[in-house]
Amino acid sequence: MTIRDWLGVSVIALTLTACGETEPKNGSAEILASKQKSLAQRLKAACSSQATYDRLKQVAFDEAIRIRNADPVNLDTLSTHSLVRVENPVVKSRDETLDVTVCSGRFVLQVPPGAERAFDGKRQLVADIEYAAQAAADGSGLVYQIKGAEPIIYRLATFDLRSDTYRPKSPATEVAAAQAAPPPEARTAAPPPPPPPPAATPAPAASPTARPAPAPTQAAPRVAAAAPSFNCRVARSRSERMVCSSPQLASLDREMSSRFYSALSRGNEGVRAELRRTRDSFLRYRERCPDEACVAQAYRDRMDEIRDISAAR
């Protein structure tokens, strides 16, 4: 039922309640028109306002952060640069006693340029949802609950934002970069000639007791910091610490996590239940590993298991 249809039914109900018949009397038409206008505003605010869409986006991202149980900076940044809308919002029911409005529609989340490679090249994530809006007890606004957004939420939980993967640029950032860049003529001009080398001076004669100066030592190459799918600052178990100290294991962890959440987003309820059940078994097995080779093989076996569970649906 569209919002307009819902208003028509509500007007009839209000007329019968206020007058006991279908013909308004004694100025009740103005009262009903005022109530109709107020109801229209409330339904629009609950189902199809921009504030509603922003709250639905926040609920989806908050749930993805909870599922991932990791540092929220990745998804906070993605949320800031993403746009959301609900196509064909309709009113499903309205409970005046509880002040609850239930709506439905097609939830469309548009991710910013550059992030689509984390979502199979898609700029839009889409799901048919049902959402309920109820006034907060403290009067701070509407509180929302969503059903049917799991395919989007699970995909969001796989998003990995690192400095070498995705960094959205705001217009102000691009202007500042353009201003800091040298003009074209400066970039094409030939570099100034190097200064002449200093005149050579004769080396002092070596004394019999002089020792040769030690050769300069080269600094050891820095190992790239490991970046698994979870937050290493809260790593507690032995296997988690091994993953956080090994770029190879961190890479396997990111790949396994991406496959896991991707399978969750695509699978039916039976597949999702089996994936969650076997995840606990995998974590227990990984924790028993004595070395990195064992942990690496555990990740490979787990990815094979995820593939087999998904294929059996």
pLDDT tens-digit readout, 10-19: 444 444 344 4
**More confident call, 200 vs 31:** 31
Mean pLDDT of 168-195: 45
The yes-or-no verdict on residue 112 having pLDDT over 60 is: yes
**Tens digit of each residue's pLDDT (9 = 90 or more) over 211-247:** 555 554 444 433 345 678 777 777 778 898 899 999 9
Mean pLDDT of 32-60: 79
Per-domain residue ranges for the chain? 48-149, 232-311
Mean pLDDT of 167-191: 43
pLDDT confidence of residue 184: 41
pLDDT confidence of residue 47: 87
DSSP the chain: --HHHHHHHHHHHHHHHHHSSSS--TTHHHHHHHHHHHHHHHHHHHHTSHHHHHHHHHHHHHHHHHHHTS-THHHHHHHHT-EEEEEEEEEEEEETTTTEEEEEEEEEEEPPTT-GGGGTT-SEEEEEEEEEEEE-TTSS-EEEEEES-HHHHHHHHT----TTT-----HHHHHHHHHHSPPHHHHHSPPPPPPPPPPP-PPPPPPTT--PPPPPPPPPPPPPPP--SS-GGG--SHHHHHHHT-HHHHHHHHHHHHHHHHHHHHS-HHHHHHHHHHHHHHHHHHHT--SHHHHHHHHHHHHHHHHHHHHT-
Mean pLDDT of 126-130: 93
The yes-or-no verdict on residue 28 having pLDDT over 50 is: yes
Instruction: Say how far residue 244 (Cα) sits from the centre of its chain.
Output: 22
Mean pLDDT of 38-57: 81
Q: What percent of the chain has pLDDT over 90?
A: 20
